[in-house]
């Protein structure tokens, strides 16, 4: 590998039995254990054995669906899941190094609740917490809460101005949401807690701050009830497929997950996110761009293709995805990752087609291959998730220099 490129960052996206709808029917799947703590702790432990940077844990506020905008009636796919944030909190004490990034649907939750929950996760994990913010356009999820009308976003008309307006509103709301949780994380200065038994002073009240956020969607006074997290600011990430969510990544996130299908697309996406950073006044900050890839891996490319074909037969259709679907060997995937890194990508979030098979192909096949090439770490060093990703611990916006 060329010395001009830094080490790659790798994450995995965990979602039930895997990304493929028939993954739960694969030979080594554990469908009876999907709702157990042991199942999730085993998956995260395997990711940590592979020295991965972090795992993301999928979540939603409605049943899983083959449609991105509405509930389906299928009974042959996994339906039902545990709360991602609670999974992360359960797994945190059982791991030492790997980052834990649960998904939170910000459209129907309150930023004050999520700010203290993620801050708590950062304490429980000793500085390894993050959050993936997600918007919801699904009417069935909206109907669970009864507080707002459905967004009525039609994906087949998303390029039109009429369809863009509700989408822009959803992502602008998400940007305000992130701003609120970031201010709440800063609402306690780092040394606000005194804990002096002799004088009876536990906290310096002058170092707790009202955030007084007033916006179109939120009015939040603060301060948080949870002191500033160990990382100062836990990692904020978001998935982005087009210009509107690219703006959210550029304005608000530490990491953006994107879905290019080749190097040229990856370069264009990175350039657009960098432009959004500059427009938001964040040009000097580090925003990492990770490409998402759905992966089906095996010892030979033919074996990987045959395994995916069997899953497709079980599902009754060829598997498709918003991201590129890669079928091949770990070495071939390593070639692709190094080729795409030249587009300005900091890393990759790999979505295993099935678990545990494809997860183990990543940790026991891909990682050693990248290590042999000098492209991936051989040990964990930094103690926090931000430190491992090369992101500084931010100064508290309310502290007086």
Q: What is the DSSP string of 139-207?
A: HHHHTTT-SS------GGGTTSHHHHHHHHHHHHHHHHHHHHHHHHHHSB-TT-EEEETTTTEEE-GGG
Q: How far is CA 278 from CA 247, 255, 346, 363, in A?
A: 11, 16, 18, 36
Angle ∠(8,339,356) on CA atoms, nearest 5: 60
Dist CA 96 CA 345 (whole Å): 27
3-state helix, strand, coil in the chain (%, to 5): 40, 15, 45
Q: Does 212 count as an annotated binding residue?
A: no
- Is 263 known to sit in a ligand binding site? no
Distance CA 268, CA 263 (A): 9
What are the angstrom distances between the C-alpha of 368 and each of 80, 130, 371?
34, 26, 5
Taken as a whole, the chain contains a residue count of 401
Compute the distance between CA of residue 296 and CA of residue 333 in angstroms, rounded to an integer. Answer: 10
Token pair, residue 376, equals 């991936």
Q: Are 252 and 285 in contact (CB under 8 A)?
A: no
Strand partners, 291: 258, 348
274 phi and psi angles, rounded to 5 deg: -60, -40
Q: How far apart are CA 31 and CA 357, in angstroms?
A: 14
* CB of 62 closer than 8 Å to CB of 138: yes
Feature table: binding site: 59, 103
Feature table: binding site for FMN: 59, 103
């Amino acid at each position: 590998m060329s010395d001009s490129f830094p080490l790659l960052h790798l994450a995995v996206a965990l979602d039930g039995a895997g990304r493929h709808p028939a993954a739960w029917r694969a030979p080594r799947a554990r469908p009876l254990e999907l709702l157990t703590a042991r199942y999730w702790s085993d998956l995260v432990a395997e990711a940590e054995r592979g020295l991965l940077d972090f795992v993301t844990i999928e979540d939603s506020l409605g049943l899983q669906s083959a449609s991105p905008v509405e509930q389906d009636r299928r009974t042959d796919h996994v339906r039902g899941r545990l709360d991602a944030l609670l999974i992360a909190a359960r797994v945190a004490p059982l791991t030492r190094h790997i980052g834990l990034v649960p998904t939170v649907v910000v459209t129907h939750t309150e930023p004050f609740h999520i700010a203290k929950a993620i801050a708590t996760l950062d304490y429980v994990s000793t500085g390894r917490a993050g959050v993936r913010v997600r918007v919801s356009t699904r009417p069935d999820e909206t109907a669970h809460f009864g507080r707002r009308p459905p967004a009525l976003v039609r994906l087949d008309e998303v390029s039109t101005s009429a369809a863009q307006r509700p989408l822009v509103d959803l992502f602008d709301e998400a940007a305000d949401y992130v701003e609120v949780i970031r201010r709440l994380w800063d609402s306690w200065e780092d040394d606000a807690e005194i804990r002096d038994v002799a004088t009876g002073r536990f906290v310096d009240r002058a170092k707790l701050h009202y955030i007084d956020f007033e916006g179109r969607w939120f009015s939040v006074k603060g301060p948080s009830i949870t002191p500033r997290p160990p990382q100062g600011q836990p990692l904020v990430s978001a998935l982005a497929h087009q210009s509107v969510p690219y703006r959210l990544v550029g304005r608000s996130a530490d990491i953006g997950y994107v879905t290019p299908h080749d190097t040229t697309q990856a370069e264009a996406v990175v350039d657009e996110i960098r432009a959004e950073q500059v427009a938001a006044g964040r040009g000097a900050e580090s925003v990492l761009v990770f490409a998402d890839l759905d992966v089906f891996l095996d010892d030979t490319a033919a074996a990987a293709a045959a395994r995916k074909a069997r899953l497709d037969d079980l599902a009754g259709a060829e598997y498709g995805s918003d991201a590129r679907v890669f079928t091949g060997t770990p070495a071939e995937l390593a070639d692709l990752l190094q080729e795409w890194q030249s587009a300005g990508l900091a890393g990759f979030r790999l979505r295993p087609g099935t678990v545990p098979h494809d997860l183990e192909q990543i940790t026991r096949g891909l990682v050693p291959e990248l290590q042999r090439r000098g492209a991936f770490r051989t040990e964990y060093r930094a103690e926090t998730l931000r430190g491992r990703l090369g992101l500084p611990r931010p100064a508290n916006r309310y502290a007086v220099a």
